[in-house]
Amino acid sequence: MTRKERYEAVVDLFKKINPDAETELEYSDPFQLLIAVILSAQCTDERINKVTPKLFADFPSPEHLAAVSPDEIFPYIRSVTYPNNKSK
């Protein structure tokens, strides 16, 4: 079995077992999903859903988030894992 065949078999199995896979992360657009996924590394979705509403309210777009320093982001995400790195 080739690597591609193994890959397709695994994907087919996942589609069969869980055809409507969804995330528990709360988001309203692709930007928010991206930020939530980045923050969720090594952290629970529950924790991320607690910190992102204020973050997204104050920084509603990529431009708003890019315009501030990591030091300004840190207080919003201090309770997630690796906040120093994730704020960068």
- The reported pLDDT for the residue numbered 34 is 96
Contact predicate 37/52, CB 8 Å:
no
- The reported pLDDT for the residue numbered 58 is 97
- The reported pLDDT for the residue numbered 1 is 85
DSSP 36: H
- The reported pLDDT for the residue numbered 70 is 96
- pLDDT (tens, 9 = 90+) of the chain, 88 residues, equals 899 999 999 999 999 999 888 889 999 999 999 999 999 999 999 999 999 999 999 999 999 999 999 999 999 999 999 999 999 9
CA distances to 6, 11, 65, 88 from 26, rounded to whole Å, are 32, 25, 18, 22
What's the chain's length in residues?
Answer: 88
Contact predicate 4/11, CB 8 Å:
no
The residue written with tokens 């919003």 in the block is: 76
